[in-house]
Chain A
Amino acid sequence: MDASTSLETHHDPHAHAAEHEHHELGWWRKYVFSTDHKVIGIQYGFTGLIFLFFGFSLMMLMRWQLAYPGQALPVIGKFLPHIFGPGTMPDGKMTPDFYNSLGAMHGTIMVFLGIVPLAFAAFGNFVVPLQIGAPDMAFPKVNMASYWAVFVGSIVMLISFFVPGGAAKSGWTSYVPLAAIADTGPGHLPVFNGQTLWLIGFIFLITSSLLGAINFIATIIQLRAKGLTWMRLPFFVWAQFVTAFLLLLAFPPLEAGIIMQLMDRVADTSFFMPAGLVVNGAALHISGGGSPLLWQHLFWFLAHPEVYVLILPGMGIIAEILANNSRKPLWGYKSLVFSVLTIGFLSFIVWAHHMWLTGMGSAVSAFFQTTTLIISIPSVIILSAFFISLWGGSIRFTVPMLFATAFLPMFGIGGLTGIPLAFNSADLYLHDTYYVIAHFHYIVAPGTIFALFAGIYYWFPKATGRRMNDFWGKVHFWPTLICMNVIFLPMFLQGMAGMHRRWYDGGQGWTVSGDHTIWGLTGFQWNTPISWAAWIMGLAQIPFIINFFWSIKRGEKVNDNPWEATTLEWTAPSPPPHGNFVTTPVAYRGPYEYSLPGRDGDFTMQNEPVEPSERVRRKTAEPVLV
């Protein structure tokens, strides 16, 4: 079939006039209030990257307090009280409240303002429509609304640092009743206090995620190019599809919880407040009758699927890069697809494994322990398929591939160390220790963030028409990989030695005796190398930042398909114009037709028609064109 056949049967005669109008959009409509999925994707990307670094900076501050508790932070410590207020770091020494604020906001910002906007929204927006051969998202205005909702939410979160009392300080989980009474009373404003702003900001973030999720699913269902059947979708599109469903269905119950906690704080209701609470020696004047456990259920009903929201887009990116750089099809494409669907379904029925210590009962625990162990099966299938995909490949160690190959063992460590936490008897000991921190950071930091870096290096040429510098990419990669492991590997040991994750003094008072050491250092003394690794990793991001901005203007110019990839986004010009494709794309084959026997070159793009000889050899019937 002719590749240029129009998709739309009702062709609008005014289409050309309309397109002409688009080209004359003013600067504001083109780059700021844009409805183009690529611009919105890049806006999300910048927002996500900025907040990733900001969230990391909060942690770098906390690492000082953990390594050198009670000591004045040199140089920076003098300036911080001027920015965050005098109560945060008097004389450069961190107060407990400020430490708690940093911890709570580090988690919130990294998860909801860093990774979700970058992994799901930025890559999803930029790449998914291109990979499915669509001109844009299904609902461009909704798409713009979704970005501006997250923008407002992020501003509200930032403002909360500067209100009296500082930002939210009850952990990223905001457990009640602690969170419901935090930031109230003398010295706090009624609405403009940390915890209330955290809740209000969250409502905007949830709105954004819902709009985005609806848009992604509708786009993938409705706007796939002709011939791009479900089993010809790149794995990245499948991963985003499942992620969107997780956001769509898991976020609203948390929104319900957020609304109820907001009511508890501003209308004095008792959704989460039991009767008989005493605060600062005085009984709270509330009706009571609420349930703190209810909040935990609503929170984790989102927050467990959220874990998969964080990792699935990363897995999708890794799949694309592994196939491209090993020059061979992904191993077990169908198993990957069904595994990701299974993960999506199961992730909704494992949430209470975060609540083993709440005393919810052994029958409930047994159920959630079983489902939690079952969900490790599809995860292991995915990781195994990735490893096997490398087997016998002709691997190109490009910068994206370096990050992608590093992802595999890092995610493996993160995943396997989660299994002891899935057993409620083992978790009784490990709960809330640094072991848990190490476990989920191995998944999200050297896991997802490595996937994101890989994705940035990989799709940068599509967005700009230029490539990022290889040498500086490697200078970025190696120190980051080493520091990640120096940071998180000792935390497993600290956790197994019993160190609690929320200790303000880094465990100094608990492990100072020195009768229990790990490789010659006490649990507390391990904080020092960890902190130094964190700060060095901060420095290691400088080559990336410079490389990123320098390459936008000065990077080496490349053609439309510099990685010799097969999926549809590489058939569009770089950078793609408004409307994306010069001719309407049609897909004739699967997404990873690398090293196809009998063809010139080692890659065959999805829009290359199947030749008659090929059809006989592959024993397939006429290709399906829908």
Chain B
Amino acid sequence: MEIPYTVSTRPDTGLWNAKVGIWLFLASEVMLFGGLFSAYIFLRLDAPPGMWPHGLLNVPVGTMNTAILIMSSVTVVLAWAALKMRKYRAYWWYMLATILCGVIFLTVKLVYEWPQKFDHFGAYIKPEELGKYEQYLGNEHAAAKGLPPRLEVTGHLHNRAALNDPNIKEYEVALDPLNADPSNPAMDRPHFFYMPPTDKIATIEKADVQYATMFLPKHSAYFASYFTITGLHGMHVLGGVLVFIYMWLPVSKRLYQRNPEHLANRVEVAGLFWHFVDLIWIFVFPLFYLL
């Protein structure tokens, strides 16, 4: 006996096997990312005032990546529709477009966004020493405006050796615009466009610092959840791209010639997964970039 309903639909359920499978898989993925998002909520609710950073991510780049992913969701549907109409050449081009969108998304993430963060520095000042760095933090201004307290000085670390060398007693930081001009009302809210660190250098004594690190996962609960969730999401994008590449290679043309409906079903299943990956990003983008 052969396994039934691999390609044709079972009359009483109206489904073929893989379609049931992928929806179940997506249900489990909802729970996986649901667990991570609820961790985000937990950590954010628990964070003391001033300990949940804002405006550290590059919003235009994130917006572009969002648009790229949404576009790829459209092209994968067009690819599937082309297969249903038995137009293999159109399918081939739409699939290529989908793959390229996925690759661009990953490249932006891995080559630009993540390394830029790894290259950024932040130092949380000890609560009792905050006054000493008032010129960079502007807490009086923040308190007057009803803004959360500012506990961290961020920017570009000039003497990177200071991170590991106990003999270097201070950090030299080219300040971010906020710390360079903390009482300017223009700095009260995060900016849409990215603003690079200024030329203004601040010297921060290590003895005054509570905790200092580059913008790595260990920097804060915020970056821990940012890197974990976007990393896991990126692995999903990578998995989707690899599957699409397999479906785009000549090996799948042979399946098309033998049983085009089978290939169409495969693309449909992979496309459902791809839409889900998009949907996750639709949650990631506002949670980390905007809110």
A residues 236-286 touching B (CB-CB < 8 Å): 248-257, 259-260, 263, 267-271, 285-286
- With A221-B13, A287-B221 given, is the CB distance from A8 to B35 under 8 Å? no
Chain B residues in contact with chain A, CB under 8 A? 1-5, 7-8, 10-13, 15-18, 20-21, 24-25, 27-36, 38-39, 42-43, 46-48, 51, 124, 211, 213, 216-221, 224-225, 227-228, 232
Closest CB of chain B to A546's CB: distance in Å?
36
- With A252-B29, A256-B36, A298-B35 given, is the CB distance from A269 to B218 under 8 Å? yes
Q: Are B232 and A259 in contact (CB under 8 A)?
A: yes
Q: Are A222 and B221 in contact (CB under 8 A)?
A: no
Q: Are B2 and A289 in contact (CB under 8 A)?
A: no
15 pairs of residues in contact across A and B, judged by CB atoms under 8 Å:
A8-B2, A8-B8, A138-B20, A139-B18, A218-B20, A222-B5, A222-B10, A252-B34, A256-B35, A257-B39, A260-B36, A263-B224, A267-B224, A268-B217, A298-B39
Does residue A571 face the partner (Cβ distance < 8 Å to B)?
no
B3 contact set on A, CB distance < 8 A: 134-136, 138, 140, 223
Q: Are A222 and B13 in contact (CB under 8 A)?
A: yes
Contact of A581 among B1, B18, B33, B213 (CB under 8 A): B1
Q: Are B21 and A214 in contact (CB under 8 A)?
A: yes
Does residue A83 face the partner (Cβ distance < 8 Å to B)?
no
Closest CB of chain B to A15's CB: distance in Å?
5
A580 to B17, CA, bound (A): 19
Q: Are B42 and A286 in contact (CB under 8 A)?
A: no
**Chain A residue nearest in CB terms to B44:** A289
Closest CB pairs A-B (n = 9) = A256-B35, A253-B35, A135-B1, A252-B32, A269-B224, A252-B31, A268-B218, A289-B221, A579-B1
A250 contact set on B, CB distance < 8 A: 31
Q: Are B32 and A270 in contact (CB under 8 A)?
A: no
Q: Are A256 and B39 in contact (CB under 8 A)?
A: yes
A residues 208-223 touching B (CB-CB < 8 Å): 210, 213-215, 217-218, 221-223
17 more A-B contacts (CB under 8 A) besides A214-B25, A287-B224, A298-B39? Answer: A215-B21, A218-B20, A218-B24, A222-B15, A222-B20, A249-B27, A256-B39, A259-B36, A260-B39, A269-B228, A271-B228, A285-B211, A289-B43, A289-B51, A290-B43, A580-B1, A626-B12
Does residue A584 face the partner (Cβ distance < 8 Å to B)?
yes
A134 contact set on B, CB distance < 8 A: 3
A297 to B34, CA, bound (A): 13
A294 to B221, CA, bound (A): 13
A217 to B15, CA, bound (A): 13
Q: Are A253 and B31 in contact (CB under 8 A)?
A: yes
Closest CB of chain A to B220's CB: distance in Å?
5
Contact of B2 among A12, A213, A294, A626 (CB under 8 A): A12
**Chain B residue nearest in CB terms to A585:** B1
A257 to B27, CA, bound (A): 18
Contact of B20 among A221, A285, A291 (CB under 8 A): A221
**Chain A residue nearest in CB terms to B11:** A626
A217 contact set on B, CB distance < 8 A: 20, 24
A252 contact set on B, CB distance < 8 A: 28-32, 34-35
Does residue A558 face the partner (Cβ distance < 8 Å to B)?
no
B39 contact set on A, CB distance < 8 A: 256-257, 260, 271, 294, 298
Kindly name the residue among A8, A15, A269, A290 whose own CB sees the greatest number of chain B CB atoms within 10 A: A269
Does residue A362 face the partner (Cβ distance < 8 Å to B)?
no
B220 contact set on A, CB distance < 8 A: 270, 287, 289
Q: Are A289 and B46 in contact (CB under 8 A)?
A: yes
A8 to B7, CA, bound (A): 11
Does residue A7 face the partner (Cβ distance < 8 Å to B)?
yes
Q: Are A214 and B24 in contact (CB under 8 A)?
A: yes
Does residue A18 face the partner (Cβ distance < 8 Å to B)?
yes
A257 contact set on B, CB distance < 8 A: 35, 39
